[in-house]
Amino acid sequence: MGFFGRIREDVSSVLERDPAARTWLEVVTCYPGLWAVWFHRISHALWKAKLRLPARMLSQIARFYTGVDIHPGALLGPRLFIDHATGVVIGETAIVGSDVTIYQGVTLGGTGKGHGKRHPTICDRVFIGNNANVLGNITVGENSRVGAGSVVLSDVPPNSTVVGVPAHIVYRNGNRVLITDPHDIKDPLSDALIALSARVDELEHRMGAEPCVEPFAEEEADRSAYREELDRQAGYVSMGEGI
Ligand SMILES: CC(C)(COP(=O)(O)OP(=O)(O)OC[C@H]1O[C@@H](n2cnc3c(N)ncnc32)[C@H](O)[C@@H]1OP(=O)(O)O)[C@@H](O)C(=O)NCCC(=O)NCCS
């Protein structure tokens, strides 16, 4: 597909994905995330032609106008949509699949260690919420979603939702994933939680208490009741009005 054919495809995909987008003219003139992708196509061609300095200079001009810093060496798939644009950084060895959506402030970066492939691979149809950081040579699987503000440091399986710092899975293949083993959290408090839960186990054992068959069952029941309550009040609590 030619340069202009791909532009047409980009604009259509924004119209499909962003409910705020109304017309072709609006998308072409008001979406700096798209301009950044278009600039990148030229700077990437220069990069491949070994015109490294002009490629980098063009990517910096693009950054000035769009707020998006994409290294010309990065490989971007078709129909990438960078919504709101500002503050997005995509590193040199990042690979982005097709139909990926990225919000403002996202970094697809290195961890600062090592050379070679040091940036993430983002598979097809991944959604990355605003200000999320995906760091290192890791892979985010197809159809997965990364929550706003998350810091992803290890591979994300396909069809999953991850949130938090560092990120952990909350949904997989449409099913809610509850963390029952503190080892799965991997944040600086994990060790303290693991020591605490071992201590609780030991105390329960000494007291002869029944082991907890379904940990977090009560908490999950509370959450479900709360969600049902919100659903009942749907007329009063809607997106953006809850807080
Ligand atoms: C990650 C996301 C896609 C999940 O949405 P969802 O499938 O509706 O998930 P839920 O709301 O059921 O959340 C599941 C759990 O993850 C938590 N969670 C959701 N998003 C989170 C986030 N960004 N950071 C930390 N925790 C988050 C919820 O609190 C909930 O936990 P709980 O059940 O213990 O209370 C969504 O929350 C998100 O972050 N979207 C990004 C939106 C965005 O970037 N918008 C930019 C507009 S300009």
Write the pLDDT tens digit of every residue in 111-129: 887 789 999 999 999 999 9
- C-alpha of residue 161 to centroid of ligand 1, in Å: 8
Q: In the structure, what pLDDT confidence band is assigned to residue 224 with cuts at 50, 70 and 90?
A: confident
- C-alpha of residue 144 to centroid of ligand 1, in Å: 13
Cα gap 35→174, rounded to integer Å = 34
Mutate to test the pocket of ligand 1, among 145, 170, 243 (most ligand atoms within 8 A of CB): 170
The model's pLDDT over 150-163, given as tens digits with 9 standing for 90+, comes to 999 999 999 999 99
Q: What pLDDT score was predicted for residue 62?
A: 98
Q: What is the DSSP letter of 211?
A: P
Which residues form ligand 1's pocket by a CB distance below 6 Å? 84, 103, 129-130, 145, 147-150, 161, 163-164, 170-171, 223
Residue nearest to atom 39 of ligand 1 (CA): 147
Q: In the structure, what pLDDT confidence band is assigned to residue 243 with cuts at 50, 70 and 90?
A: very low
Least confident of 118-122, 139-143, 167-171, 213-217: 213-217
Residue nearest to atom 29 of ligand 1 (CA): 163
Which carries the bigger pLDDT value, residue 182 or residue 49?
49
Tell me whether residue 10 is exposed, middle or buried, using C-beta atoms within 10 angstroms of its C-beta: 0 to 12, 13 to 18, 19 or more: buried
Cα gap 166→153, rounded to integer Å = 7
- C-alpha of residue 147 to centroid of ligand 1, in Å: 5
- pTM above the 0.85 mark? no
- C-alpha of residue 52 to centroid of ligand 1, in Å: 40
pLDDT cut 70: percent of the chain above it: 91
Q: What pLDDT score was predicted for residue 182?
A: 66
Nearest atom in ligand 1 to 146's CA: 1
Cα gap 130→61, rounded to integer Å = 23
Q: Is the peptide bond before 166 cis (omega within 30 degrees of 0)?
A: yes
Q: Is the dihedral of CA 72, 76, 80, 81 positive or negative?
A: negative
Q: How much is the average pLDDT of 237-243?
A: 42
Residue 34 near residue 9, CB atoms below 8 Å: no
Euclidean distance between the first and the last CA atom of the chain, given in angstroms as a whole number = 45
